[in-house]
Amino acid sequence: MSPDSPETPDLLAPELYLNRELSQLEFNFRVLAQAQDPSVPLLERLKYLCISCTNLDEFFEIRAATVRTAQQFGGPLPPDGIPPTRALELIHDKAAALVEAQYRYWNDTLRPELNAAGIRILAHQSWNAKQKRWLHKYFQDELLPVLSPLGLDPVHPFPRILNKSLNVVVVLEGKDAFGRNGGMAIVRAPRSLPRIIQLPPEVSGGQHDFVLLSAVLTAFVDDLFTGMKVKGAYQFRVTRNSELFVDEEEVENLASALKDELASRGFRPAVRLEIAEHCPNPIVKILLQNFGLTENAVYRINGPVNLNRVTQVYDLADRPELKFPAFKPRAAGLDDEAPFASLRRGDLLLHHPYQSFQSVLDLLQHAANDPDVLAIKQTLYRTGKDSKIIDHLITAARNGKDVTVVVELRARFDEEANIRLADQLQEAGVQVMYGVVGYKTHAKMMLIVRREGKKLQRYVHLGTGNYHAGTARAYTDIGLMTADPDIAADVHDIFQQLSGLAPTIKLRRLLQSPFTLHKGLLKKIEREAKNARAGKGGHIIAKMNALNEPTVIRALYEASRAGVKIELIVRGACCLRPGVPGVSDNITVRSVIGRFLEHSRVYWFRNGGEPEIYCSSADWMERNLMRRVETCFPILDPKLAERVYDEELANYLADNLNAWELRQDGSYGRASPRDGEMPYSAQGALLAKLCG
């Protein structure tokens, strides 16, 4: 169907939208493919496998749990029109295929290759007599004293099983000391126990020999049931819904309410049961009944149920030749001695991890100790342990600066850490805010106010990623440092909004969720469509983590029908279906999975030959555009704008080694060099260019 066709397609038709959960599972297949890539160093392949397992855990805790909740309580159908019951069936089928592929690769390929390289994860059946004696003593000395097996009978009901904890269900025969007949017992592995045990070289014969805790527990579980016969021992793990439900409008203290909710998170409704492959069906049925699960929630595992724990071997094995070559991030060019003068001369662009996050820390440290700095305002979503950011903010407060920090308590899986962080900052005299009721503060902003002569000058850092030094070494992100008065005034106004002291405002340069970003994106997409219809050409390139917002997708479809060329680089879930005749012929979608996790959000619009480029903390998702506080900032310096375009867009569109192309049916195909084309890695090119 051509754009001029009188027949207008129904852009609300469910078949034009891919299912978000199935698309997310497709992403994990791409991560697994990195583990299966023989060109990737061996221990990095192990890490990718474990990442795919951890991702799947989070998928069940959040996405599958959300679908199960919709099945129980109803609600509107998603744009793809798939009812929750059918969605859960499709999720199970695709997740089961992923799990089977993970363990087949682990058992048949990766574990043997690690063994051949001198890194052995020893299975029970492979232990020699010396290893078995050492492990048995280890069990008796280190494990048995902290284990509390629980027999199941009328006075010992089924115990509460913590989310993602390692457990063993034991089938017993005989009578115990009180004359009770054997039956079933549960052995829970406390989280204080190491999941990976390294054998001493004099015992194992190798420098890097390891045993999984689950193997030791099942091998010596008999010691816990003296006088009884163990007929079978089967490891299992249950995954629970981990979304927190706090009615913010009904609580007086959000931090206190979250503490209460966190205490019960580990015991929320179950969504998945993983159990040893050879566990008898009657035992599985008992577990399913106790967890309130159906057959399509069980996954039989040919290996350790907590395979992601093997990632510890990556750090324990001192084998640099089996890892990616080390690299040193380049300094970003901020004048350490006079950072404010440096920013008055011009904006500074940071491209992490290729350029060091240290520049952000240096700017904040300088501000904390500069007697002319009067105030610092900062948003914090994730920071990591022992954060220098926190140290500098506390120093600033103790030096008499007015320090205000917006801590997002509801940052998923970091809630407890952020509550402690907020308490720590408040004790040091920092003014802490928790954002806005009903809206997560996901924006990444730092504002420094400095007295210079007779006037106050503002300096700003804006970013696409968190103020987290650890992820800045592993995630790709863009940061901007600037003294631009309009951008600084916008950031000031947003902080005023967050404190509850400003009405809806018209920003000068920034777009902001939940007020102007969504509308602004739709206007810019429509502008490209209008230009295309007028023969001026339309072109959009956008890079993000995920895309699911239906009105943005429909706007992209309309623009495609008008002739706009649309190139999307979407790392994770994408609900837009490309390549549909008459609808999305002009849209391509690719995903790049490489050494670093692609995290930056960059939007480029041709704008009739006067291009605009923006960086943002927001993906094109409903939550980011409607239910969060986000920022989207322009790159105004032409040289920096060109650099962002070259490094973050053109560079990734040229990748033919780590890129995957989304097909019309929702599957992905790996890109490869065409005839006469040289192999090209976007991340490899940036390492060479920026790190040398």
Distance CA 151, CA 172 (A): 9
Q: How many CB atoms lie within 10 A of CB 152?
A: 18
Start-to-end CA distance of the chain, whole Å, equals 49
Q: Does 208 carry a binding-site annotation?
A: no
Q: Does 645 carry a binding-site annotation?
A: no
Q: Does 656 carry a binding-site annotation?
A: no
3-state DSSP call for residue 588? strand
Q: Does 278 carry a binding-site annotation?
A: no
492 given a catalytic annotation:
no
Q: Are 364 and 446 in contact (CB under 8 A)?
A: yes
Q: Provide the token pair at 9.
A: 């397609």
Q: What H or E segment, with its residue span, contains residue 476?
A: strand 475-482
Q: What H or E segment, with its residue span, contains residue 408?
A: none
Distance CA 115, CA 117 (A): 5
Q: Which residue in the block uniquely carries the two structure tokens 């920092």? A: 430
3-state DSSP call for residue 326? coil
Residue of 351, 352, 442, 492 marked active site: 442
Q: Does 195 carry a binding-site annotation?
A: no
* Long-range contacts (CB closer than 8 Å, 24 or more residues apart) made by 669-674: 670/33, 671/590
* Tally: H helices and E strands in the chain: 22, 27
Q: Are 468 and 388 in contact (CB under 8 A)?
A: no
Q: Which residue in the block uniquely carries the two structure tokens 């490209």? A: 528
Q: Provide the token pair at 588.
A: 């391509």
3-state DSSP call for residue 212? strand
Distance CA 558, CA 658 (A): 30
Q: How many CB atoms lie within 10 A of CB 296?
A: 15
- What distances in angstroms separate CA 259 from CA 317, 410, 417, 643, one per listed residue? 37, 11, 11, 44
Q: Does 381 carry a binding-site annotation?
A: no
Amino acid in position 416: E
Distance CA 682, CA 593 (A): 10
Three-point CA angle 599, 626, 77, nearest 5° = 100
Q: Are 465 and 444 in contact (CB under 8 A)?
A: yes
Axis crossing angle, helix 65-73 with helix 84-105, rounded to the nearest 10: 160
- Centroid of chain to Cα 494: 26
Q: Provide the token pair at 99.
A: 């799990």
Amino acid in position 297: A
- What distances in angstroms separate CA 150 from CA 80, 225, 235, 238, one per listed residue? 46, 10, 15, 17
3-state SS of 625-670?
A: HHCEEEEEEECCCHHHHHHHHHHHHHHHHCCCCCEEEECCCCCEEE
**Residue-wise DSSP of 601-621:** EEEEE-GGGS-EEEEES--BS
Return binding residues.
Answer: 55, 382, 412, 475, 571, 599
Return binding residues for ATP.
Answer: 55, 475, 571, 599
The residues annotated with a catalytic role in the active site are 442
